[in-house]
Chain A
């Protein structure tokens, strides 16, 4: 790795964790030392991998579904302004309802399999994605819109050729948030009803007082979330070469 800083940060955090355990002498069933968690990561690797696949699938499907549904909602509102006053309240409501309150209902409706977890993830990211894309679509540069009108562009063509590409940076912000938040939806769904996944594993481990396994599952989950975020971020930067990042070390 060219940049040692993330590795150093990680090392620092691990030392802090170990130090905390030593100094406070906290029992292992409350906070296991990193060494115990590391050895459990190794010994339970196949188990962790099995459940990680389940959760990863839920997250990816949730992201896909959320982006499709959210993107469509935003485009619909941009194309048909009369739809806005109907869809916007639903958007806000969907965001304010606490996830824990909805989870049992979703599980009851969609069952205990993949569908309810995907539905939870979609619900959690629906607002960030839709709001971000819609905001981007409605704040298109008015000068460009003037030009398009004088050129005789239809509403649809203006949306497709002008508003949509111009809204990509805003959409990217929404997508980044969604990527960071989708894992929460998947895991909450698993807590409420499931037969597999890292959330399910964490519950089981907690009940069996295998706290080191619980932490190991948590770490795997965090690793997945982090890897996903970095991947999406890189993808977005690649997809928009015309909107370079101007807040780097090189610039004032």
Chain B
């Protein structure tokens, strides 16, 4: 996608006569189209942190969010952005993937309903329709949240609305949606003049987890490009923390289509959620979530966390 950028940086480097080693290529598969969740990556790219680390990062946005993990597992890409809950399922299905870093360290997923709608509490969902986009574990999330209030999945009608979560809610076709990101869809609804009411999984009986993580193929964990990549991400994250306004300017640099009210609002809401220590791993957190998924019947007995999540040695 942003292939012109690395070339420009390389040219700049030569012009400045800074000794730069020939950059290593790295393919990064995003989870979705470029959005504020990717801020540290974009900022690292724009500020040349990747180039300084000797990396030429090619960012590719997939049409189907289910593809990136498969492609990394098949060796077709180096790193992908995925979701911690998905990782547990992928590992359970035998994909040779491991988490090598965290991008967003809190859940973003939320159960969202319209503030002016008939649902004020989770228990009001009895007999109602809940829309979801197929992520593979949304019903587990919803099931746990409903169970927290004495309901079960059988008490609601689940409808696949693909990724049109807000339209489905706004048109009244469904009474709530699961799989909406609290930093995005809530702002989207507010901009439409119909603010949403969100219920957060971590407040409703679901163990907390990392929403967005970096994953790589198990065979490539010793690759020395990976720690350099994570370090650049860390530098980008710190810059955003220290210079939020300038960072947004870098984010929309050359991407005018992202310079709108929705992205600005989402940006503000996402900033506090980036992993301040992208490389750091909380093993107990992963254990806890794996146990949760196993209890929900989504995966079999989970392997030790070390088999699928590591802290890269630097």
Contacts and interface: CB of A to CB of B under 8 A. Distances in A.
B162 A195 contact: no
Interface stretch (A24-32, A59-67, A173-181): A24-32
B266 to A, nearest CB: 22
A191 B162 CA distance: 7
Given A193-B168, A194-B160, A203-B160, A209 B95 contact: yes
Interface in A28-76: 28-30
B268 interface: no
A29 B157 contact: no
A-B pairs with lowest CB-CB distance, top 8: A207-B136, A209-B93, A208-B136, A112-B159, A207-B134, A203-B134, A195-B159, A193-B161
Interface in B112-131: 129, 131
A47 to B, nearest CB: 15
B157 A195 contact: yes
A204 interface: yes
Contacts of B173: 108, 111-112
Contacts of A28: 94
A210 interface: yes
Interface in A195-225: 195, 200, 203-204, 206-210
A208 B297 CA distance: 12
A43 B134 CA distance: 23
B171 A193 contact: no
B207 to A, nearest CB: 20
B159 A194 contact: yes
Given A108-B167, A204-B134, A208-B136, A193 B74 contact: no
Given A29-B73, A29-B93, A208-B89, A200 B167 contact: no
Contacts of A112: 129, 131, 159-161, 168, 173-174
A192 to B, nearest CB: 5
A169 interface: no
A108 B131 CA distance: 12
10 contacts: A28-B94, A29-B70, A29-B94, A107-B161, A108-B173, A192-B164, A193-B159, A195-B158, A208-B89, A209-B69
Interface in B130-159: 131, 134-136, 157-159
Contacts of A200: 160
Interface of A: 26-30, 104, 107-108, 111-112, 190-195, 200, 203-204, 206-210
Contacts of A194: 159-160
Given A29-B93, A209-B89, A104 B162 contact: yes
Interface string B48-73: 00000000000000000010011001
A249 B164 CA distance: 52
A108 B66 contact: no
A192 B298 CA distance: 24
A193 B95 contact: no
B70 A30 contact: yes
B208 interface: no
B90 interface: yes
Nearest to B161: A193
Given A30-B70, A111-B173, A193-B131, 12 more contacts: A28-B94, A29-B94, A104-B162, A112-B161, A193-B159, A193-B164, A195-B158, A195-B159, A203-B134, A206-B134, A208-B136, A209-B95
A206 B160 CA distance: 14
Interface centre among B66, B69, B168, B173 (most CB of A within 10 A): B173
A201 to B, nearest CB: 10
B90 to A, nearest CB: 6
Contacts of A209: 69-70, 89-90, 93, 95, 136
Contacts of B69: 209
Nearest to A112: B159
Contact of A104 (B70, B134, B164): B164
Contacts of B159: 112, 193-195
Contacts of B135: 207
Given A104-B164, A195-B158, A210 B134 contact: no
Nearest to A28: B94
Contact of B95 (A29, A203, A206, A207): A29
